[in-house]
Amino acid sequence: MASTEPSAGLIQRLLPYIHERRLAPGDRLPSERDLAERFGVGRGAVREAIAVLETLRMVERRPNSGIYLRPVESEGSVEALVLQAGIGVPLSPAEVREIVELRSLLEVQAIALACERREAAHLAQLDGILAESERLLAAGGTLTDLDAAFHLAVVEAVGNRVFLRLVNAFYLLSRQRRQRFFAESGQSAASHAQHVAMRDAIAAREADRAVALMRRHLKGVESHWMVLLGRDGQPDRSG
């Protein structure tokens, strides 16, 4: 008997299946009936899963023809990248490089705007994150999650909710990479010191100094990942 597996669970199985079969943009997926039989689910669950992938611009239905893969690299949504990374479908080295580059462009602009627009509440939020970072470091922890919290708080000070949602997507994409980054000795302490300097520049509304600090901060992260990619040249499975 077919199960009533939720569409999210089916997607977690369907995308790796597509990747493993090396299906390319323009390739036709098996029919709803075939997919239901392959995964042991009802056709309704398949339709729901396909509807989600359509919304993310990963597949398209062609009348009287079937379901086809779209060119995700040019047409897929950012949420599609987040979904793939979250379920272990690897990002290519090129995708990692492009994500790092775009993150840098967005966050450099964000900290410049934060210097202009920040309010007392934003500084209080940054101070709270930095205080928690100090406590965590003193206890021997790492900044995997607090690093994201700090950077998102900087973007929040811009006052543009769509901007915040876009940058948040990049942090959802990079969580496992950040775990690896901060697991290395000294990375958390160094990042915390740089965060403190950026907070002070935002408080002083010194946009040029803040931008220079952010660029230096992100350049160090970028260099780290480029070394790793150059070392093995393999697709990144960590998101």
Q: At CB < 8 A and 24+ separation, what contacts does 229-235 make?
A: 229/93, 229/96, 229/97, 233/93, 234/93, 235/90, 235/91, 235/92, 235/93
Domain with CATH 1.10.10.10 in the chain: 7-79
Collapsing DSSP to helix, strand or coil, 62 comes out as strand
Q: Which helix (H) or strand (E) holds 59?
A: strand 59-62
Q: Cα–Cα distance between 224 and 123 in angstroms, integer?
A: 29
Report domain 7-79's class.
mainly alpha
Tell me if the domain spanning 91-232 has CATH number 1.20.120.530. Answer: yes
The one-letter amino acid code at 143 reads: L
Domain with CATH 1.20.120.530 in the chain: 91-232
pTM for the complete prediction? 0.75
- Kindly report, residue by residue over 198-212, the tens digit of the pLDDT: 999 999 999 999 999
- Kindly report, residue by residue over 43-101, the tens digit of the pLDDT: 999 999 999 899 888 899 998 899 999 987 777 777 777 777 777 666 777 777 888 88
Would you state the structure tokens that stand for residue 11, as one six-digit string? 């997607």
How would you classify residue 57: left for phi > 0, otherwise alpha for psi between -120 and 50, otherwise beta?
A: left
